[in-house]
Amino acid sequence: MANTRSSACKIPVIDIFDENSKPGTSAWISKCKDVRAAFEQYGCFLATYDKVSSQLQDDVFWSLQQLFNLPTQVKVQNTSDKPYFGYFKHPCIPLSESTGIDNPTILEGTQSFTNLMWPKNNKTFCYGVGKYYGSHIKATDYLLRLINYRVPHEDERDIDACPDHTDKSFMTILHDNEVVGLQVKTKEGDWIGVEPSGSMFLVMAGDAFLAWSNGRIHSPIHRVIATEAGKERYSLAFFSFSGEIIQTPKELVDEAHPQLFKPFHNMDLLRLYSLDDVQKYVDFISQAKCGA
Ligand SMILES: O=C(O)CCC(=O)C(=O)O
Ligand SMILES: [Fe+2]
């Protein structure tokens, strides 16, 4: 049964867009220290950003509602060679479905997804924010997953909408339609409920970041418990994956901190945990009847 209790302990809130802390200033250095301490202790922090209007928030989550209301035959057309990048629904996780936009930071990525889902055009779905991003994204692959958690039936209240897991990404940014459900586990084993807010974005480290940092950065276990009574939950999960081999920098390895991880490819880590291939799990599903 889902343990819904959450601790009074709070995830650190950091104003990373503070105008006064320009790179190089002492305010900026102190903010960097806050970010590092939050990643080491909690594996995540809440970034405040109040420039997203409530109109834009409403438009985005209204679009997600339209998207998930499309016929299944349309939604399953979003496939990918990469694990976890296409449409996903799994019998073990009956309350949720999600779909991925590969390359969401460039206009073409969002456009080709929009054309696939709405061949007759949907001008409101695609915002084309990609032009604001520079060349620094070169070595990073981005994936935007659009997630829907349906309202559980009477007999499904104890099923976690998204079971306990750590992310296989380098970093993840989460934002939802202000319906509670997301919880993060502390190192001490307490669950912290993330207070939903239109101006909060949860920035979370993934396992790839943990490995790169030689175990210094914490990649927290998190989950989504059954949503508020009668409320459907929508969330945006913005994952970044390293496009290069993940190798711990030599500065982070010494006698006291021997190297914990062999170099690996972020996509191989993701593939290892992928549930995309439902066929692999057929026996497991029928034997364990998981989710039932
Ligand atoms: O929906 C959420 O807020 C969390 C989603 C999540 O943890 C994931 O997709 O990895
Ligand atoms: Fe996650």
Sign of CA dihedral 238, 112, 135, 264: positive
What residue segments make up the domains of the chain, in order of their start? 13-112+134-245
Q: What pLDDT, on the 0 to 100 scale, is given for residue 12?
A: 94
Helix (H) or strand (E) holding 162: strand 162-165
Nearest alpha carbon to residue 228 among 180, 175, 176, 174? 180
Q: What pLDDT, on the 0 to 100 scale, is given for residue 132?
A: 30
Which one-letter amino acid corresponds to residue 244? E
Q: What pLDDT, on the 0 to 100 scale, is given for residue 194?
A: 93
Q: Is 240 in the pocket of ligand 1 (CB under 6 A)?
A: no
Per-residue pLDDT of the chain (292 residues; tens, 9 = 90+): 344 555 556 899 999 888 787 888 888 889 889 999 999 999 999 999 888 888 888 889 999 999 999 999 999 999 999 988 999 998 888 899 999 999 888 878 888 899 999 887 665 565 432 333 343 356 788 999 999 999 998 888 888 999 999 999 999 999 999 999 999 999 999 999 998 888 889 999 999 989 988 999 999 999 999 876 789 999 999 999 988 888 888 888 889 889 999 999 999 998 887 766 545 544 543 443 333 3
Q: What is the CATH number assigned to the segment(s) 13-112+134-245?
A: 2.60.120.330
Which one-letter amino acid corresponds to residue 143? L
Q: What pLDDT, on the 0 to 100 scale, is given for residue 4?
A: 52
Give yes or no for a contact between 242 and 266, defined as CB atoms under 8 angstroms apart: yes
Q: Pocket of ligand 1, candidates 224, 269, 274: which has the most ligand atoms within 8 Å of its Cβ, to mutate? A: 224
- Which value does ipTM take for this structure? 0.98
d(CA 290, CA 57): 35
227 Cβ contact list (under 8 Å, min separation 6): 149, 151, 152, 161, 179, 180, 181, 233
Instruction: For the beta carbon of residue 224, count every other beta carbon within 10 angstroms.
Output: 26
Dihedral class, residue 63 (left if φ above 0, else alpha if ψ from -120 to 50, else beta): alpha
Query: What is the CA(31)–ligand 2 centre distance, in A?
Result: 25
Q: Is 202 in the pocket of ligand 1 (CB under 6 A)?
A: no
Q: Is 99 in the pocket of ligand 1 (CB under 6 A)?
A: no
